[in-house]
Chain A
């Protein structure tokens, strides 16, 4: 059974860099786009971007200047970095798997809080 497990720092100060990693267990890494989506507390979902096993990326234009995604195919892992965070970046961050536009597998979510 394929599952995603994600981790990273949950408390950041303004201007720091958010860093999250997601590992894929029990299934193939290639053939999918690996996605990051976030959800501020009590609010809606926002697509951050995606990356495939070859490192090809697509980013949300509104976040593109601050986002970097990467993959480590030797470990079946993918990562998100978001620089210069502010309080507006406080959210639950989900890693997920996208196949042909359908996000059908999600990580457990990580709450990242940005506070002075």
Chain B
């Protein structure tokens, strides 16, 4: 089983909100990790959006709108990327990442369609 599991796709309407989940394997406790989120559009490298460990330990990427925010669902052992006021430009692939010791692990990515 993968360390980080993301739904392969998600669709939402313009102006709506979307919650993208990143579920950690059961032997990884989400409370112990910072969750990093990246956005990738076709033909371009990923761009850092934000990192979130707690409400007091988080960082927004430079120039990233406040419509993008992070949180956790401890009961689901998951990190969440919340996007409000969806715009067509938010259509992209989204990846979560954790650092486990000195190694980094990527989730499989979620393709967000805004239609």
Spell out A's residues near B (CB within 8 Å).
Answer: 37, 44-47, 50, 58-61, 94, 96, 101-104, 106-109
Question: Contact flags (1/0) for B30-58 with A, using CB distance below 8 Å?
Answer: 00001010101000011010010000000
- Closest A residue by C-beta to B43: A109
- Chain B interface extent, by class: 20 to 34
Is A103 a contact partner of B103 (Cβ separation < 8 A)? no
Is A47 a contact partner of B103 (Cβ separation < 8 A)? yes
Is A46 a contact partner of B45 (Cβ separation < 8 A)? no
- Closest A residue by C-beta to B62: A104
Docked complex Cα distance between A106 and B45 (Å): 7
Judged by a CB distance under 8 angstroms, whether B99 is at the interface is yes
Is A45 a contact partner of B51 (Cβ separation < 8 A)? no
Q: Select which of B36, B59, B107 is within 8 A of A44 by beta carbon.
A: B107
Neighbouring A residues of B51 by C-beta, 8 Å = 101-102
Which of A58, A60, A94, A101 is most buried by chain B, counting CB atoms within 10 A of its CB?
A: A101
Is B106 a contact partner of A58 (Cβ separation < 8 A)? no
